[in-house]
Structures are given as structure tokens and as C-alpha cells.
A and B are shown apart, each in its own frame.
Chain A
Amino acid sequence: MSAVPINVDDRPQIGRGFRLQWEPAQSAHVLLYPEGLIKLNASAGEIMKRCSGEATIAEITADLEAAFATTGLSDDVIRFVSMAVDKRWLVIPR
């Protein structure tokens, strides 16, 4: 499994066949896909819900840093997006 090269100008969006939604019964974002589901942890949910296909990774990172009053999230976001692209949860239109 090789890491997918990710650029801060990329605009990730949810992959085809996947759907992200908030499930009150699980108090979590879940990622739904054919015949399966993944319960996301809080930080994965916060990243994924911002992957609209319009925001760049830089913008998503800035938004997260503002929302959680922190800095230095860029590497974490890039690492997560790379993993999620590899699993087809996210795609980056080119």
C-alpha cells in the first residue's frame, strides 16, 4: 500500500458509492458503503465532513484549526486524506 501523493491545493470529495452521515444513535459520523459501514472517530469525522470537493486541503486545515483553536494540523490532515484516498473513501478530482 503506497501513500497517495497529496497536495495542499487538492480538493478531496467523498468517493463514489460512499456516503458520510451523522448518526445520533452512535454519536458519530459513519461512512456508509455497499454492504458495510465504518464508524469514524471524532477527528476523522471532522475532516471528512469538510471534504466537499470545493475546499482545498489548506482551507480544510485552516477551518479545523480555527474551529478547535489550535495550529499545526496540516500533517495530520494530509496523512488522513492520503489514507482515505487509498481506501477510496475520498477521491481527488484532477
Chain B
Amino acid sequence: MTAPVTATAPSPQPGPPLWLLLELTYRCPLHCAFCYNPTNFSSIGPELDTADWIRVLREARALGAVQLGLSGGEPLVRADLTEIVAEAHALGFYTNLITSGIGLDEARIVALKAAGLDHIQLSFQDSTRTMNDFLSSTRTFDLKSKVAALIKKYEYPMVLNVVLHRLNIDHVGEILAMAERLGAEYVELANTQYYGWAFHNRAQLMPSRAQVERAEETTRAFRAAVGQRMKIYFVVPDYFEDRPKACMNGMGSIFLTVAPDGMALPCHAARMLPGIEFPNVRETDVGRIWFESPAFNLYRGDAWMKEPCRSCPEKGRDFGGCRCQAYLLTGDAANADPVCGRSPHHGLVTAAVAAASAAAAQSPLVFRTPRNSSTMPR
């Protein structure tokens, strides 16, 4: 979700939740070690049923929500996906399916197209081991190629997303060549963001600065060679920056996520923030959640900010960065995102980068499986 969104700055009276993300399920056939889903997903309560999701769509659309992401987990796991898309389309949402492609056969794509699905973002990932395995795995490559061909056949723009990390970032040239062979029109090279499983595996996933620089150089060269045929976005890992990202354009300003169990979140990683009672769409309608709930009002405006954010001239631009990252690294979500060079905790970020550049990590990757989830700390 890095495409630009034009929106007004947060104000005392918030605008509508323009962007609605429905995480339909935490179930997923893949076990990616860089997933941002909560590490305790296997203990999170039952999924909303079809009628609940449709009610959420209606309530959010009435508020002015217009961009809809259908994600997970793997949203294709839900047998009612087509029904949800059809309702969303009828309501006037622009519908984006964010998928690994596993489970997308021709009958399914025909049904989704007929239901009004606007867009498919196909992600490539190493399902169990490294991208290296993936690139050499005929079975996986064939599956992805088939899905890519279906996406083109049914006249969707081919948008590929590849999550980069220490184990695959050196293959950026091969990844881009593969994307070109598949006929991709847009490629998003998204460096891992360290939440959930990815945060747990950070030491193993963090590339070195030299790796990031080489990957950027390879991307620049490829971009120059391929011209307008393929648009390539390289999302720099924020740990390597010293200005924080304007995460969610400020919590509670435009994004609303509904998790599989109906929990409403101002960002898809926010469930981990302690001491906040996040409302649930089973009990509270979306309008009250968005405008009235303490959870959604907590980080609106700038009254919650501490120094150095409070007196920072850039606070209206980056909103103090990411609340979840501030919490994960400093223990307090109201602190400045430590990516910021002005944060007194910035050393935590530079130390993590330095450690990645110094030596290979010792401990093994922990893959996102239900079994691992049952033994993970929250």
C-alpha cells in the first residue's frame, strides 16, 4: 500500500476512512517469515461471517470509504470472496485483491471479474525457504506464471509485489527479469517492514547497507533499460533512513483495518499496542468506531505527542512516524518513531542496521505457521 493517496491533513473533525482494508482471514497456505500478521494469529477468535463483512462494507461506504483492500492471510481461502467483492462493487468501492495467487484458478478469476473486481496485486514470496529456492523451483514458478497469465488474460494490469530481505535482495536483477518475462506493468520491490513475524525475525531478514545500495543500483539500471514498459517502485527500508515515514498518514486519518475477528484497527499492525481497547465491528458500527472510539481518537492531531515531535517543524508532515514501530523499539507508542534522527532512541535503529552489516545472524528463521504461532510471545 505505497501508492500515493491524496488526502487532507488530520483535523479535529476527521474526514472519512477513505481506505478500508479487510483482512478476511489469517489462514494462509504460505508461511512467510517476513509476514506482518500478529505472531499469535492462531489464538485469535473466529472469523467474521459473510453477513458481518457485508454489513461492514455498507457502514464504511456510507461514511465515504472508497478504496477497498481485500487481504489476509490469503483472502482466496474465503469461499465467500466473490460474494464480498460483488457487494463491494455494487456499493461503489474500488476493489483491490492482495493475494499470493494460490487458489486463483480460471473459474475463480472469471467469477471475480464478473463480480466487479477492479485490481489484483500478485505477490511473490518464498513460501518456505529462500527466494533462491523460489527462483529455481519449477513447480512454484509454473503456478505463479499461470496466475500471471490469467491476470493478463482477464485484462487486469499486472502488478507484482515482492518483499525484499537479506535472503533475496541480492537477486533483485533476477526478480526484475522474471517480472519482465511475466509481462508485469508495475513492480513494487517492498523492503520488509519489521512488524509481527518480520520483527521476530529481524536479525535474519535485515539486509546490510551494502546490499540495499547494490539493489538500488541494479533497480536503477533495470529501470533505465526497460523504460515505460514496466514501472518499478523501490521502497527503501525505513531503518536505513533518518526521516520517519508518514505512517497511515497519521493514525485515524484515512485508514481503517478490520481484522479477521472483527477488531477494528487504525493500522494493520496496531493490534499489538498495549492498553488500547480496540472496538469490534460485531458490537459497534463503523461510524461510531471511526468518529467516537477512544482507540481511533488516541493518535489524532498532535496533543498526544512528546518531544522531540511536539515542537518539531515536520510533525505535520510525518506525524511522528509509526506508532507501532515506536512501541516495538522503545516500549512507548507515543514516542517519536526511532527511525527519526532526532529521536533519542535512534541508536536502536542504527545498531540493528550495523549488526546486520557486521555478521550473519545465528538463530534460525521462525516461519509463520499455526504451530509456531501457538508458542510465540505476543
Q: Mark A27-55, 1 if CB is under 8 A from B, else 0.
A: 00010111111110000000000000000
- A8–B369 Cα gap in the complex (Å)? 59
The winner among A16, A23, A25, A34 for most chain B CB atoms within 10 A is A34
- Check A25–B157 contact: CB distance below 8 A: no
Question: Does B66 contact A35, Cβ atoms closer than 8 Å?
Answer: no
With known contacts A16-B155, A17-B118, A19-B118, A36–B64 Cβ distance under 8 A: no
Contacts of B16 in A (CB 8 A): 25-26
Shortest CB-to-CB span from A85 to chain B, Å, is: 13
Cβ–Cβ contact A25 & B1, under 8 A: no
Q: Is the CB of A35 within 8 A of B64?
A: no
B345 near A: Cβ within 8 Å?
no
Also in contact, A19 and B94, with CB within 8 A (given A35-B119, A37-B5, A37-B18):
yes
List chain A residues, Cβ under 8 A from B15: 25-26
Residue of B nearest to A16 (CB): B157
- When distances are taken between beta carbons in the complex, the residues of chain B under 8 Å from A32 are 66-67, 94, 118
**Complexed CA–CA distance, A23 and B6 (Å):** 14
Q: Does B303 contact A (CB under 8 A)?
A: no
Interface membership of chain B positions 268-283, coded 1 if the CB is closer than 8 angstroms to chain A and 0 otherwise:
0000000000000000
Q: How far is the CA of A54 from the CA of B190 in the complex (A)?
A: 40
Q: Which residues of B have CB within 8 Å of A34?
A: 3, 96, 118-119, 121, 157, 159, 186
A21 beta carbon closer than 8 Å to chain B: yes
Docked pose: A19 CA to B69 CA in angstroms: 16
Taking the complex as formed, is A5 at the interface, i.e. its CB lies under 8 A from any CB of chain B? Answer: no
Q: Which partner residue on chain A sits nearest B94 by CB separation?
A: A32
Question: Which chain B residues border A72 with CB–CB below 8 Å?
Answer: none
Report the nearest A residue to B93, measured CB to CB. Answer: A32
Hey, which chain A residues are within 8 Å of B6, CB to CB? 37-39
Q: Mark B1-30, 1 if CB is under 8 A from A, else 0.
A: 111111100000001101000000000000
Given contacts A24-B64, A30-B66, A35-B67, contact A17 B4 (CB under 8 A): no
Question: Contact: A21 with B92, CB < 8 Å?
Answer: yes
Q: How many A-B residue pairs have CB under 8 A?
A: 57
Chain A residues with Cβ below 8 Å from B2 are: 35
Q: For B186, give the chain A residue with the smallest CB separation.
A: A34
Chain A min CB distance to B58 (Å) = 14
Chain A CB count within 10 A is highest, among B69, B94, B157, for: B94
The CA of A19 and the CA of B95, in the complex, are separated in Å by 11
State whether A17 and B157 are in contact (beta carbons under 8 Å apart), knowing that A26-B64, A34-B121, A35-B96 are contacts in the complex: yes
A40 nearest in chain B by CB position:
B6
Known: A17-B119, A24-B64, A25-B63. A36 touches B3 (CB 8 A): yes
Binding site for A on B (CB under 8 A): 1-7, 15-16, 18, 63-64, 66-67, 69, 92, 94, 96, 118-119, 121, 155-157, 159, 186
A residues adjacent to B (C-beta < 8 A): 16-17, 19, 21, 23-26, 30, 32-39
The contact sample of 30 A-B pairs, CB cut-off 8 A, is: A17-B118, A17-B119, A21-B66, A21-B92, A23-B64, A25-B15, A25-B63, A25-B64, A26-B15, A30-B66, A32-B94, A33-B94, A34-B96, A34-B118, A34-B157, A34-B186, A35-B1, A35-B2, A35-B67, A35-B69, A35-B96, A36-B4, A36-B67, A37-B5, A37-B6, A37-B67, A37-B94, A38-B6, A39-B6, A39-B7
